[in-house]
Structure 1
């Protein structure tokens, strides 16, 4: 799987390259200190994955997401946890890594991209079904075990998820 890194911090690019070298079948083909250079590269080249820093001067990760006009698989990297919820509003963002990035979490994010690529290519043999999912409650992502849910109710613009341990009220509809 070929990837590029977009991060204004040289140290962050070095760390992601080092982590990538420890993952089988993941190759960093180029790196960029700003998103504009990366867009020019992506207009002429194909990659499987983009590691994208959210906070960059002049043209940040959000600007990149709004500008890029091709389907990409992106792992967002940032030192600010407050952008996780906003990040997942974009279909191209597969995962979100909080700096400093640890190898086990990095590997998990790359595996998510591999699963997405397998589905896109029609290969579903290696896909595992997750037993949990995340919901946005009060601008925080809460992990809920699927097996603990005994009822999900729609109430207007809210969903009530009842589990064995707790009730969760999510501001969303079942129509999405």
Structure 2
């Protein structure tokens, strides 16, 4: 959070937060809040980010990693974001969890790009874009096991001008217990 706060008030250039390659970081639920004062922020994910391997709560209870009210930013790289969703899937299958969070949430953001990363094993939806505009999603891949419940790749709601390009989505099973499509 210190890196985000510093980047968000940076007065010149294009500040970059780097998640370095060859390393894995355990990240508790977190919200990156805007608006940033002067500059566009760049988050470069070269390494891996993993969620806690247990049920957890977050500020908003809808996403593990949230970007909220941020304008003109980029999240890219060839790293992986692993939501470690199996504990959530078990909870959902046993009807002990009413709601299951997304791995990555974008809320009320404008002019953003998310590119090149792999999102794995989300507790619920892999990426949620809500109440945002001018969103560019490029070269992303989403993967979770076939028996993972409600792990949609991308969920877009109340947003405008959203571009999805070159996405590979292999996220969960859309069949219910009766073998029928779950809409």
TM-score by length of 2: 0.28
Relative to total residues, which structure has the larger helix share, 1 or 2?
A: 1
Say which one has the larger Rg. 1
Q: Greater strand share, 1 or 2?
A: 2
Q: Which has the higher contact order (CA 8 A, sep 6+)?
A: 2
